[in-house]
Amino acid sequence: MPVVTNPIKFGTDGWRGVIGEEFTFERLALVATVAAQVLDKTYFPTVGSRTIIVGYDRRFMAEEFAQVVADAVTAVGFDVLFSESFAPTPAFSWAAKELNALGALVITASHNPGAYLGLKVKGAFGGSVPPEVTKEIEAMLGVEVPPAAIPGKQEEFDPWPSYCQALEGKVDIEKIRQAIATDQLTVFVDAMHGASAGGLARLLGEKVKEINSDRDPLFGGGAPEPLPKYLSKLFAVMNIHRETYNSGLTVGLVFDGDCDRIAAVDKDVNFLSSQILIPILIDHLTRRRNFTGEIVKTVSGSDLIPRVANLLNLPVFETAVGYKYIADRMLVTEVLLGGEESGGIGYGSHIPERDALLSALYVLEAVVESGLDLGEYYRQLQQQTNFSSAYDRIDLPLASMEVRGKLLQQLESQPLTEIAGLAVIDCKTIDGYKFRLADQSWLMIRFSGTEPVLRLYCEAPTLEQVHETLAWAKNWAESN
């Protein structure tokens, strides 16, 4: 039994670490065997199966790490369905539910830089296991799991066909394909060298214009995260298209490394985060598809989300940051859509999992059926709700966990009463500290649970005010 000197801890969605340091073959095999035991204990009474899906993304040595997982799991008596290729994490979540498996173990580090790899644990229901399951995995890491008298079997499977078929059935796929085929709609995709590569082309045909679809474990020197700073190539390609063609609808879609997060770009090459896409999707799915149910948002979500929901008489439920909290809500009540500001969006009509390819199809359907550019659609919603705002966030590295503790203690003992010259009128502590200011703008201060990083979020009437407020918060953090 290996001695774990640097404890293995699960974050908001899985365990991640630097390849060759925290994330090694030996440690992964240990986690995989324990995770299999916990999945068996949790879900066998429901599914009556001892099969586990094993999948992977396109990171450095992802296939080799996935094979270590498969070998470790079969050695302790479980059967494995091993993916024959990379695929989006939601495809493996779908496979877990569709194939009546105990769950899925997916090798991915999502949006992290290329030095990282990780393991996501999915349950039989088709979503991330709840915190109590990951806590049990952590607690059992010191308990040796003996080899089984009869090892399990390994078989390969292709995760793409069933997954794509499921997605096609969620939208008017022929209408979208026809719009692309007749040049009424031009679709650009930035796969960010990740697991989404080829996905929309499978669904919509080869006229989808995909960039960064090659495998690059260094992600062009950046990270596969759908943020403007990593999208210069997409912006350049779309600017050329805008200058060359003036007619037709144009949409850019961006997926993170394992294709569970999405962002978009409108015809004028403006970046649209999920803070903008979620209100558009709520409106489209309610008005044109007659969906009903609760809207679930994280505490860092835009104020436009509840305003659009209120316009459509939809209830809103707010959670802490992390899609697992949204998924938990999806398992106990009827949810139309659940979304987080970092790009994860899921649907009650699917599995309790964020799914960027399905979100992309719904975004394209909204554009085709409304005839509106995404930017125009967003402005219409602002007019209808009489609400206009700007949003941004920064992640501020701290010198140490001790500095993190000091700042946290200060917030607890000396609550902020004024921020950037505006009085604080309310403070929510669902997750971190969300300060509502006198002009109805807000600043949220939230600490990473596993590293010395301070996350600062702000929504305000103008981008200038957003940046002023974030600068004030950064100065506050660095001067305390």
- pLDDT single digits (tens) 404-435: 889 999 999 989 999 999 999 999 999 999 99
- Position 362 confidence tier, pLDDT thresholds 50, 70, 90: very high
Directed axis angle between helix 274-287 and helix 374-385, to 10°?
80
**Statement: residue 26 has pLDDT above 60:** yes
DSSP 333-383: S-EEEEE-TTS-EEETTS-SS--HHHHHHHHHHHHHHH---HHHHHHHHHH
231-263 residue pLDDT tens:
999 999 999 999 998 778 999 999 999 999 999
**Statement: residue 289 has pLDDT above 90:** yes
Least-confidence region, from 53-57, 133-137, 398-402: 398-402
- Both tokens of 308, joined, read 């659009």
**pLDDT for res 5:** 54
Owner of token pair 């090798």: 107
Strands 271-272 and 316-319: unpaired
Buried b (16+ CB within 10 A) or exposed e, 453-468: ebbbbbbbeeeebbee
Q: Is 428 left (phi over 0), alpha (psi -120 to 50) or beta?
A: beta
pLDDT (mean) for 473-479: 93
- Both tokens of 351, joined, read 């599995």
**pLDDT for res 450:** 63
**Statement: residue 10 has pLDDT above 90:** no
Distance of CA 438 to the CA centre of its chain: 32
Give the domains, in start order, of the chain with CATH numbers.
15-161 (3.40.120.10), 175-385 (3.40.120.10), 390-478 (3.30.310.50)
Half-sphere exposure of 308 (CA within 13 A, CB side): 31
Q: Are 289 and 169 in contact (CB under 8 A)?
A: no
**pLDDT for res 7:** 83
Give the whole-angstrom CA distance, residue 193 versus residue 231. 12
- Going by C-beta distance under 8 Å and a sequence separation of 6 or more, which residues neighbour residue 221? none
434-453 residue pLDDT tens:
999 999 999 999 987 667 88
Give the whole-angstrom CA distance, residue 204 versus residue 224. 23
Give the whole-angstrom CA distance, residue 319 versus residue 330. 12
207-236 residue pLDDT tens:
999 999 999 999 999 999 999 999 999 999
Q: Within 10 A of 151 (CB to CB), how many other CB atoms are there? A: 15
Mean predicted lDDT score pLDDT of the chain: 94
Give the whole-angstrom CA distance, residue 304 versus residue 324. 22
**pLDDT for res 449:** 66
DSSP 255-308: E-TTS--EEEE-TT--EE-HHHHHHHHHHHHHHTT---SEEEEETTS-THHHHH
CA distances to 18, 28, 42, 159 from 107, rounded to whole Å, are 13, 10, 21, 14
Residue 289 burial (10 A CB sphere; 0-12, 13-18, 19+): middle
Q: What is the dihedral of CA 214, 217, 230, 54, to 10 degrees?
A: 90
Give the whole-angstrom CA distance, residue 53 versus residue 70. 9
Give the whole-angstrom CA distance, residue 70 versus residue 56. 11
Q: Coil, strand, or helix at residue 8?
A: coil
Q: How large a percentage of the chain has pLDDT more than 90?
A: 88
Give the whole-angstrom CA distance, residue 350 versus residue 327. 11
**pLDDT for res 1:** 40
Q: How large a percentage of the chain has pLDDT more than 70?
A: 99
Q: Coil, strand, or helix at residue 434?
A: strand
pLDDT (mean) for 26-46: 96
**pLDDT for res 2:** 43
- Position 143 confidence tier, pLDDT thresholds 50, 70, 90: confident
**Statement: residue 3 has pLDDT above 70:** no
Instruction: Give the residue from 379, 197, 386 showing the smallest Cα distance to 280.
Output: 379
Q: What are phi and psi of 240, to 5 degrees?
A: -60, -45
- Going by C-beta distance under 8 Å and a sequence separation of 6 or more, which residues neighbour residue 38? 133, 136, 137, 140
**Statement: residue 383 has pLDDT above 80:** yes
Q: How far apart are the first and last CA of the chain?
A: 44
**pLDDT for res 247:** 74
53-77 residue pLDDT tens:
999 999 999 999 999 999 999 999 9
**Statement: residue 130 has pLDDT above 70:** yes
